[in-house]
Structure 1
């Protein structure tokens, strides 16, 4: 039995993305602690019911604030010492960096899940962005030196991360197929006959929401019977779209669902799922849609391309090309039988590659638990 701390940046993700992992670790006899900022009572209650021990830490989730990040580091260090943590499992950039460094400072083992390279790795000409990028890479190199293993969800992230100098020892690399999806919870739903498109995402430029909106406008001009939905929320970070832009999209006829605690009704209501992201670790929403029997249109980008078999479970389109996305949408809209066939293939593909129990068993083996 080991004392394990799972450290994230967004409290609900401990249930949505790590809940099954927490349960599997506890079932194996480990004492599991979790940490994140801004817990709500419902999240705490659900984690306690699983058997986890919950700790809130303050963290500025978006942007760079050196004073706040230093405070976050020392909060984590105090927590780890108090609990007597033996293994820290971090995921997302700030927990990966400061969780790894804090664990090393008290002599505890740590591992990081690089679930996507994120905004700090996108190419840009902005001076501020370049400063953030340089600092992030330097800190990542320090943190991964402290990790026993560094876990990636796709080979592009692994290769680009190493190329950027963020990981010096390739022997630490381990691979998993995303965070997995519960194929019982996300069960196959009856497919609507109408062409109804959906994206579920934070409203970030890098998630491709702008391309989705522009493609939707093109398609609606040719096929007024097509419907388009966006589920998500304005992020507030440097990559976020504005409220004014969202209002403009709504004016075009796109329906905004806002943030959804349960995305299943929205997926059930759609017939085609879309995610034109610039890059991902492994996009969970594509897996959820696949598990529910929906074909997807995603970009031929790192992390995304692994979740769709071209022409079999959906379509891959070029990054940042609204016209190509619109063409794929129109192709999907014209053929209900094809949508149904692809949706069935997507469910089977999801079961074989992304079932959460399979993914977590691999992860637990990587951690020698």
Structure 2
């Protein structure tokens, strides 16, 4: 029997390995031929995709902004890819791949399972420009995913929003998964035993919506009060209107307020070395991967009681949910761990237990595999 061919569509090549690598391996192990499409493949990720047995495919995609001509060309290119490789099912994730991949697949009459991984910047509604972009994206979502076989959400809030905005109807088939999952064999548990040298870590894109500025301000205030406490920051500089100033980060690093690591690839090592993970995001998340990785490594988590983020924390059990954009709430939660270091060990253990119960990548991937088999009637 000829193998079924699945096309994954991503907005950048690294996510195919970092977020979907285990999923691709699972599909291949279950007898599928996997094609992985992303714009501007680097040789590094092209090789990694080939090494796990998938076929990397380049296509052009303007990741941010709107350009109707370029966006139309992306759809046409994806349509050509689907036809040329005789794809049996398309699996797009993140905003533009879902919209353009779904339109292309529907034009080819190829079934689609789309994964909504968070609505991000365009659904924060912080300015007139963003609200305009939001309405346009709503229209594109409604147009593109109406014929999709299954729409998979990472949290109930996004599902309710899609219903409220009439992007989908209650008659459309939907399902839910707990994020992209985390490989518990890679992100291993390390017991935390801090004393007065409590260390915090934030890993994120360096944009305001991720709460970076609130974290840096908390570090300035708490460092003055508790000099032995450490505040670590990992992330790359962003080409974005809301990017945090590189000079501001470097200044705090030079002053010894924060320890800035830039971009890092051995995230599990950093999580294991630090005590408490912090993500004060007010971005519209799906379910932040870093929160799941922190859970697996046994870090208590401080994050916001907002869309996506709240899914990763049982308040008071494996961390704290705080009010978004509240400097006082963030400082209070961080100071709790500084003055109660014994709680870090207890809550860290609870984080790992929660990861094993809910976020194991094998659980997530098996759920997605069942959806695919059902759509393809395997």
The TM-score bracket by the shorter chain reads over 0.9
Deviation string 1:27-67 (CA, Å, 9 cap, x unpaired) is 11111101001212221112112110110112121222222
1:282 matched to which residue of 2? Answer: 287
Q: Aligned equivalents of 2:99 and 2:58: distance in 1?
A: 18
> Does residue 15 of structure 2 align to residue 13 of structure 1?
yes
Deviation string 1:228-266 (CA, Å, 9 cap, x unpaired) is 111011221333223244345435521211111221221
- Structure 1 runs of 4+ aligned residues shifted over 4 Å read none
1:270 matched to which residue of 2? Answer: 274
**DSSP-derived class of the 2:36 partner:** strand
TM-aligned CA deviation for residue 331 of structure 1: 0.3
CA change 1:309–1:5 in 2 (3 A) is: same
1:339 matched to which residue of 2? Answer: 344
Q: Aligned equivalents of 2:362 and 2:7: distance in 1?
A: 20
**DSSP-derived class of the 2:100 partner:** helix
TM-score, length basis structure 1: 0.96
TM-score, length basis structure 2: 0.94
1:57-68 alignment runs, 5 A limit:
57-68=59-70
Equivalent of residue 231 in structure 2, options 208, 225, 228: 228
TM-aligned CA deviation for residue 170 of structure 1: 4.4
1:301 matched to which residue of 2? Answer: 306
Q: Aligned equivalents of 1:192 and 1:9: distance in 2?
A: 39
Stretch deviating more after TM superposition (308-317 or 212-221): 212-221
> Does residue 360 of structure 2 align to residue 359 of structure 1?
no
Stretch deviating more after TM superposition (93-102 or 193-202): 193-202
Mapped contact 1:111–1:148 kept (Cα < 8 A): yes
Mapped contact 2:205–2:235 kept (Cα < 8 A): yes
Q: Aligned equivalents of 1:363 and 1:210: distance in 2?
A: 36
> Does residue 155 of structure 2 align to residue 154 of structure 1?
yes
Mapped contact 2:193–2:345 kept (Cα < 8 A): no
Mapped contact 2:250–2:260 kept (Cα < 8 A): no
TM-aligned CA deviation for residue 160 of structure 1: 1.2
CA change 1:166–1:235 in 2 (3 A) is: farther
Q: Aligned equivalents of 2:248 and 2:167: distance in 1?
A: 35
Q: Aligned equivalents of 1:166 and 1:255: distance in 2?
A: 43
Equivalent of residue 123 in structure 1, options 112, 122, 125: 125
CA change 1:242–1:63 in 2 (3 A) is: farther
Mapped contact 1:26–1:32 kept (Cα < 8 A): yes
Q: Aligned equivalents of 1:97 and 1:8: distance in 2?
A: 11
Equivalent of residue 325 in structure 1, options 326, 330, 343: 330
Equivalent of residue 105 in structure 1, options 104, 107, 113: 107
> Alignment length, in residue pairs?
368
Mapped contact 1:62–1:237 kept (Cα < 8 A): no
> Does residue 85 of structure 2 align to residue 88 of structure 1?
no
**DSSP-derived class of the 1:109 partner:** coil
Mapped contact 1:119–1:239 kept (Cα < 8 A): no
Equivalent of residue 218 in structure 1, options 211, 221, 230: 221
Q: Aligned equivalents of 2:126 and 2:188: distance in 1?
A: 40
Deviation string 1:192-224 (CA, Å, 9 cap, x unpaired) is 522101010001211111111122222112212
